[in-house]
Amino acid sequence: MTQEDALDYGLFLIDKLLRTQGSSLADDKFNGEFPPFRTDWETRLARDANHFIAEQLEYDAGEMVAQAADMKACMNDEQRIAFNTLIQHINEGGAFWLQGPGGTGKTFVYKAVCAELRAQQKIVLCVASSGIAALLLPGGRTAHSTFKIPIPILDTSVCNVPKNGLLADMLRKAALII
């Protein structure tokens, strides 16, 4: 943590204490002496409290912006249409299915969508049924690992994801699960 971050966090803590008393550093009585916080500390603290979320938000946003731009520049017309449609559906909420013959660039589009959303600091979970398939996507994991699917699967098997747990919280906050 830099000295500026420490100062910013200290002001956040003072402001938080003032808010419990019905005041704030933004109040007129401080004459605008305190600048707005440089960091959204509420979000950062919540994220850091959940290691699943923290891991998903470790991607360098600048690097993701550059990667997404490079990939979009390389898309053919069909891939660009699929990409734009996927981003639109993700922003509006809903499910989608990307289908096409082998070699049409579905994985390329998925990677571009991942980079685009991660550049916006959104959680993207890349999940596949096998370890080999999971390796094709950035940050990919097997479904068994991601959703705590037991091995072997029996008639009585259930996933061990408590609804109030950290993993469930991350799953709810995910912008996209591939």
% of the chain surpassing 70 pLDDT: 98
pLDDT digits over 33-42, tens only? 888 888 888 8
- Residue 112 falls inside a structural domain: yes
pLDDT at position 47, please? Answer: 66
pLDDT at position 164, please? Answer: 92
- DSSP, collapsed to helix, strand or coil, labels residue 49 as helix
Tell me, yes or no, if the pTM score tops 0.75: no
Number of domains in the chain: 2
- Residue 56 falls inside a structural domain: no
- Residue 84 falls inside a structural domain: yes
pLDDT at position 55, please? Answer: 85
Closest CA to 113 of 133, 139, 132, 135: 139
- Residue 128 falls inside a structural domain: yes
Mark whether 31 and 79 lie in a shared domain: no
Mark whether 23 and 106 lie in a shared domain: no
Mark whether 69 and 156 lie in a shared domain: yes
More confident site: 46 or 92: 92
Report the range of poorest mean pLDDT among 4-18, 24-38, 81-95, 120-134. Answer: 24-38
Mark whether 31 and 69 lie in a shared domain: no
- Residue 32 falls inside a structural domain: yes
Q: What is the mean pLDDT of residues 138-164?
A: 91
32 pLDDT band (50/70/90 cuts)? confident
In contact, 50 and 172? CB cutoff 8 Å: no
Mark whether 28 and 68 lie in a shared domain: no
Closest CA to 139 of 111, 172, 167: 111
Task: Look over the chain and give the mean of its residue pLDDT values, rounded to a whole number.
Answer: 89
pLDDT at position 96, please? Answer: 83
Mark whether 70 and 149 lie in a shared domain: yes
Mark whether 35 and 106 lie in a shared domain: no
Look at residue 1 and tell me whether its pLDDT is greater than 70: no
pLDDT digits over 72-103, tens only? 999 999 999 999 999 999 988 888 888 888 89
Q: Tell me the CA distances in angstroms from 100 to 25, 107, 129, 153, one per residue in order.
A: 55, 11, 19, 30
Q: Which domain holds residue 25?
A: 3-39
Mark whether 95 and 170 lie in a shared domain: yes
In the block, residue with structure tokens 């910013």:
8
Q: Across the strands, what pairs with 174?
A: 123
Mark whether 171 and 98 lie in a shared domain: yes
The answer for residues whose C-beta is within 8 angstroms of residue 125's C-beta and 6 or more apart is 56, 139, 141, 146, 170, 171, 174, 176, 177, 178
pLDDT at position 100, please? Answer: 86
Look at residue 110 and tell me whether its pLDDT is greater than 90: yes
The answer for residues whose C-beta is within 8 angstroms of residue 78's C-beta and 6 or more apart is 104, 105
